[in-house]
């Protein structure tokens, strides 16, 4: 059944770009736009509502979307997993990632938070040696070092403008790197749609325990934006799964950095956050380091 679903999904878009690799690139580019929209909506809504409330709506929409789209076909296959404990741990890590990142967006510019969060692929490189037994050469370690230098250029520790809220996206990136490493352990062992659905389901359960007296009933406009919050990330992650069906993550990785372009654009237009030259330099250093690592993985 799962193979048939994958074949149907591929067949539905087989002719619109001519090759699976081109389709994969296009899907990654669209995914990064969805993720940037999610970040911008998060930053806006976090001004008015508690972060746990936004996360509850985000995961509820995510799980409902998956159930509505894939439930009729996959039925109980959506929950069939041979590694339930690891699935739950992975999902919990993503809840922590989104909680930290969304809190960071309340205090620092969108582009800064997004760039710092892009340390995650570099941290995966650093952690892959002790945790996955993969060999990291000298150039790989230098790329990780330059990535941290890029963060320092953005943060400028010791400067008058230092905002300690940068620790939110930094620790979000740390948690996200463990999340990615755990995801790699599922390769070939779990259906990606099952993993995606369990992520949303665990998120709903966890955030349901975070009900607070401060939670407020949103206005109609804000309620619609909250639904868009969940749809944007749910659809985005699904499109990323589809992209990885067409090409490897190492090939897709350089195109994920278009997320930074959208973050700068949305931050400037929607929130008046114009990055200064130092911030832009730091973003370029992080992006360059990440793309170098991706290129090395693609060669291997």
- Cα-based distances in Å from 258 to 31, 118, 135: 10, 11, 28
pTM of the shown model? 0.83
Q: Kindly state whether residue 238 falls inside one of the protein's structural domains.
A: yes
Closest CA to 223 of 36, 45, 43: 45
Instruction: Evaluate the CA torsion angle 203, 164, 151, 126 in order and state its sign.
Output: negative
Length of the chain: 300
Question: What per-residue confidence (pLDDT) applies to 183?
Answer: 79
With respect to residue 2, please indicate whether it lies within any of the assigned structural domains.
Answer: no
Instruction: Give 94's contacts (C-beta < 8 A, 6+ positions apart).
Output: 176, 179, 199, 203
Domain membership of residue 175 (yes or no) is: yes
Q: Look at residue 99 and tell me if it is in a domain.
A: yes
pLDDT for position 8: 45
Whether residue 6 is contained in a domain is answered as: no
- The pLDDT value recorded for residue 264 is 93
- Whether 1 is covered by a domain: the verdict is no
How far apart, in whole angstroms, are the C-alpha atoms of residue 276 and residue 260?
15
Residue 13: inside a domain: no
Per-residue confidence (pLDDT) for residue 105, from 0 to 100: 92
For residue 178, give its domain range.
19-299
pLDDT of 46 reads 92
pLDDT, block means (10 residues), the chain with 300 residues: 45 51 87 94 92 91 87 84 87 93 92 91 81 76 87 72 80 91 74 85 88 79 92 87 76 85 93 90 89 74
pLDDT of residue 9: 43
Number of domains in the chain: 1
Q: Is residue 11 part of a domain?
A: no
- Determine contact, residues 93/178, Cβ cutoff 8 Å: yes
């Amino acid at each position: 059944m799962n193979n048939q679903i994958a074949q149907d999904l591929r067949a539905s878009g087989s002719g619109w770009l001519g090759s699976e690799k081109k389709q994969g690139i296009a899907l990654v580019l669209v995914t990064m736009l969805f993720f940037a929209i999610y970040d911008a909506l998060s930053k806006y809504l976090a001004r008015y509502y508690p972060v746990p409330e936004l996360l509850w709506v985000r995961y509820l929409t995510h799980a409902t979307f998956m159930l509505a789209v894939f439930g009729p076909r996959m039925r109980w296959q959506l929950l069939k997993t041979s590694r339930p404990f690891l699935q739950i741990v992975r999902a919990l890590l993503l809840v922590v990632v989104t909680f930290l990142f969304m809190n960071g967006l309340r205090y620092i510019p969108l582009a800064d938070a997004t760039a710092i969060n892009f340390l995650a692929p570099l941290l995966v490189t650093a952690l892959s040696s002790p945790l996955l037994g993969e060999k990291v050469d000298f150039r790989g370690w230098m790329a990780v070092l330059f990535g941290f230098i890029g963060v320092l250029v953005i943060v400028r520790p010791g400067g008058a403008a230092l905002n300690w809220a940068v620790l939110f996206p930094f620790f979000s990136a740390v948690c996200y790197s463990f999340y990615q490493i755990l995801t790699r352990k599922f390769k070939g062992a779990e259906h990606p749609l099952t993993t995606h659905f369990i992520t949303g389901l665990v998120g709903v359960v966890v955030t349901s325990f975070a009900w607070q007296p401060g939670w407020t009933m949103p206005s109609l406009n804000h309620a619609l934006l909250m639904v868009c919050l969940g749809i944007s990330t749910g659809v985005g992650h699904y499109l990323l799964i589809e992209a990885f069906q067409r090409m490897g993550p190492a090939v897709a990785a350089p195109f994920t950095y278009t997320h930074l372009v959208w973050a700068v654009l949305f931050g400037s237009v929607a929130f008046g956050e114009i990055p200064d030259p130092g911030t832009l330099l730091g973003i370029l250093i992080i992006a360059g380091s990440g793309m170098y690592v991706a290129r090395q993985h693609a060669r291997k």
